[in-house]
Structure 1
């Protein structure tokens, strides 16, 4: 295997583990998932930066390495560190206040979700039999071919 393929596989594994950890309810696991996503982004930048070249000091400009991906990676490292420190402070504050590491279910969000479940349920003018019926090929009403009575484009038409 080439080095690039190994980096791509490592990046994919880090990315998938990071997304999995972000979807957990534990704040510490969310922080670890964020860190894994940041590291996978750095591997992506390293992989996509191209082949290694010469240092840009004391040589001709033909074979030097592009410094822009390295600047992007350094910026991504700094941003990931800053956001991780902020998230760690939030996790510590949450731990000090509630002694829990889990994200709690917010009752207001649950109420909004149940209110928006189906707006048609709240309409008093809409009866059950007024709602559109879905096509079901197993039902006796829909068992026939729905295109049977429609004129086909392949049929001969009368000449104008």
Structure 2
């Protein structure tokens, strides 16, 4: 089962890198979001995939009796999901504001685009 997940994670990483190499800002943001999901799946798979075996230690022993799922990667993934969602929301607002200001979502056109807003005087003393 881990081999299937490894192939799936490879495809997800490839798709995210393909999207991040695009020139459109929305595709780049979606690639970053998919990359975060691929990393979460990689961490989850590295924590061992065991079905129906909770990581509970019986009172009579000091260590788990058999192979169990590791709870640490699951806790790390829960934290990473919250952080990646807030990061994606920040980048989405930043991209929207950039589109409003420059009038384009193409990364190459952003280099030469001039802001649409009012010209502000330079800050000086």
Common fold by TM > 0.5: yes
- Tell me by how many angstroms 1:99 deviates: 2.4
Higher relative contact order (CA closer than 8 Å, sequence separation 6+): 2
- Tell me by how many angstroms 1:40 deviates: 0.7
Unaligned runs of 5+ in 1: 108-160
Contact residue 24 and residue 106 of structure 2 kept, 8 A: yes
Of residues 83, 106, 111, the one that matches 2:111 is: 106
Unaligned runs of 5+ in 2: 113-125
- The CA deviation string for residues 42-69 of structure 1, in whole angstroms up to 9 with x for no partner, is 110121111323243xx51514532111
Of residues 84, 91, 99, the one that matches 1:87 is: 91
TM-score if structure 2 supplies the norm length?
A: 0.73
Q: How many residue pairs get matched?
A: 103
Partner of 2:8: 10
Is residue 2:104 matched to residue 1:71? no
More helix by proportion, 1 or 2? 2
Distance in structure 2 (CA, Å) of the matches to 1:90 and 1:25: 16
What is the CA RMSD across the aligned residues, in angstroms?
A: 1.8
- The CA deviation string for residues 93-127 of structure 1, in whole angstroms up to 9 with x for no partner, is 012222211113636xxxxxxxxxxxxxxxxxxxx
The structure that has the greater radius of gyration is 1
- Tell me by how many angstroms 1:89 deviates: 0.5
Of residues 27, 40, 43, the one that matches 1:42 is: 40
Partner of 1:54: 54
